[in-house]
Amino acid sequence: MSTYYLSKERIEELKEELKDLTTNKRMEVAEKLKRAKEFGDLSENSEYNEAKDEQARLERRIMEVEDVLKNSELIKKSAKGEIVEIGSAVTVEKNGKEKINYIIVGSQEANPDEGKISNESLVGGALLGKAVGETVEVKTLNGENSYKIISIE
């Protein structure tokens, strides 16, 4: 069982999605199944087979969202920002050249294009527990990179 670290906003999004899936989407799929059954012979009824597949995908997604919500932990920002933790906004200097801003989030919210990196990623995991001024070395497929922590919020 995994723990999913989520922001308050992401938890609310998942709750809304679950509500929609269990009410509106289930009703839509049930209606499709009902209509498909009216076509007769189910063994050669492509509409029925498609509706059953859609129902299976829907139920799988409901189970995924329920699992994430059941095993989620709210990301709490520390007031001091002395060490990097989940929820921290970190500015690092990569290889002594470029400055990069990251927000350390749980894997469910990671979006590198927005600067949100997972606590389970190579860089995110290496930064956890470190303080301003510390440098971490991270080996990736593209080689080794050095990240010096400039600030933590």
Supply φ then ψ for residue 29, to 5 degrees: -65, -40
- My answer on whether 55 and 96 are in the same domain is no
Q: Contact at 8 Å (CB) between 110 and 104?
A: no
- Domain extent, residue 61, equals 4-74
- Tell me the CATH number at 146: 3.10.50.30
Q: Residue 14 falls within a domain, yes or no? A: yes
Q: Which two tokens stand for residue 42?
A: 């189910």
Categorize the per-residue pLDDT at 30 as very low, low, confident or very high, splitting at 50, 70 and 90: very high
What band does 90 get if pLDDT is binned at 50, 70 and 90? very high
pLDDT of 110 strictly over 60: yes
Specify if 16 maps to a domain: yes
**Domain-terminating residue out of 74, 99, 128:** 74
Name which of 103, 79, 81, 80 is nearest 91 in CA terms.
103
**Same structural domain for residues 65 and 102?**
no
Domain count, the chain: 2
Q: Is the pLDDT of residue 79 over 60?
A: no
| Any domain includes 28 | yes
pTM above 0.85, yes or no: no
